[in-house]
């Protein structure tokens, strides 16, 4: 996800290059889908035969390692706003290595079109491939209504590190409504399908002691590694507001709460370091 606080105000997007359609901009919001494919180059490295930006979703390749390609998702407009429909499609083919990040935090805003905004992430990681999906936080601003769905299909021999961070409101601000669903399949097996909703209109108790307990930042770290199939990490607490739970497959899920985004990142970084 992307959409930095410093992104340009919402305007009609510029004319696209020849051969590329402009993102759909209607009275109900903007429709945009960014696509990328990572593939081995036959020389021990990773190439990007598909790197397709769309409207507010701009993909930029940066300097990577010898075997790993790196891509940054940059916000070309503010958003997502109410009524927007954004999507990212990432396919890491067999043996490829990719690290995908975002340039700055995403800020969900109400917008003039009204209604909810939706952000749909579809990720596939092939046999022997590796993906690090490490975006900056998502901030739910007052009056916004954003629904995020992340679906990940991972081959049994693939490696994945996926981080999600949500911050409820800017400093001194009440949050908007934020719903997130995370679905993981390893091979043909459904390993994880969970959903959380926070903010106005969410199910009662979302900010109570059984859920957020007054914290304003929540996050998840999902790690899939073939070695976990035989040697899964033990379930345990990571401090007072974080836990590590092995899933029914070669994967573990770290869930954490914190007073703010900075401290949340520290907890998740420490968990990732502990997992190696």
Average pLDDT over residues 239-249: 93
Q: So what's the pLDDT on residue 249?
A: 87
Q: Would the pLDDT of 241 be above 80?
A: yes
What's the pTM? 0.87
- Asked if residues 125 and 155 have their Cβ atoms less than 8 Å apart, the reply is yes
Tell me the domain boundaries of the chain.
Answer: 28-214
Q: So what's the pLDDT on residue 4?
A: 41
Q: So what's the pLDDT on residue 8?
A: 45
Average pLDDT over residues 72-77: 85
- Asked if residues 23 and 54 have their Cβ atoms less than 8 Å apart, the reply is yes
Q: So what's the pLDDT on residue 21?
A: 47
Q: Would the pLDDT of 50 be above 50?
A: yes
Average pLDDT over residues 158-165: 98
Q: So what's the pLDDT on residue 228?
A: 96
Q: pLDDT of 82-107, one tens digit each?
A: 999 999 999 999 999 999 999 999 99
Confidence of residue 3 (pLDDT cuts 50, 70, 90): very low
Average pLDDT over residues 159-175: 94
Average pLDDT over residues 101-114: 88
Q: So what's the pLDDT on residue 11?
A: 46
Q: pLDDT of 169-179, one tens digit each?
A: 998 889 999 99
Mean of all residue pLDDT scores within the chain: 89
Q: So what's the pLDDT on residue 189?
A: 95
Query: How large a percentage of the chain has pLDDT more than 90?
Result: 75
Nearest CA-CA partner of 86 in 135, 48, 122: 122
Greater confidence (257 vs 22) lies with 257
């Amino acid at each position: 996800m992307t959409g930095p606080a410093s992104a340009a105000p919402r305007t009609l997007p510029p004319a696209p290059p020849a051969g590329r359609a402009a993102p759909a901009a209607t009275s109900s919001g903007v429709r945009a889908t960014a696509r990328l494919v990572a593939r081995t180059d036959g020389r021990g490295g990773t190439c990007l035969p598909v790197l397709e930006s769309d409207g507010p979703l701009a993909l930029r390749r940066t300097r990577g390692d010898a075997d790993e390609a790196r891509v940054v998702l940059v916000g070309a407009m503010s958003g997502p706003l109410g009524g927007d429909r954004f999507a990212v499609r990432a396919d890491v083919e067999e043996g490829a290595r990719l690290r995908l990040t975002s340039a700055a935090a995403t800020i969900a805003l109400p917008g003039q079109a009204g209604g909810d905004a939706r952000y749909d992430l579809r990720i596939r990681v092939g046999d022997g491939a590796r993906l690090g999906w490490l975006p900056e936080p998502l901030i739910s601003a007052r009056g916004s209504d954003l629904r995020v769905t992340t679906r990940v299909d991972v081959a049994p021999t693939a490696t994945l590190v996926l981080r999600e961070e949500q911050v409820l409101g800017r400093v001194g601000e009440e949050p908007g409504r934020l719903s997130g669903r995370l679905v993981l399949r390893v091979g043909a097996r459904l390993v994880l399908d969970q959903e959380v909703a926070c903010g106005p209109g969410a199910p009662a108790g979302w900010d109570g002691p059984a859920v957020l307990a007054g914290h304003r930042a929540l996050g998840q770290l999902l790690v899939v590694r073939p070695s976990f199939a035989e040697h899964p990490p033990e379930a345990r607490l990571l401090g007072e507001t974080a836990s590590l739970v092995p899933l029914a497959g070669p994967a573990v899920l770290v869930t954490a709460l914190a007073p703010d985004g900075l401290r949340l990142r520290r907890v998740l970084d420490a968990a990732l370091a502990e997992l190696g």
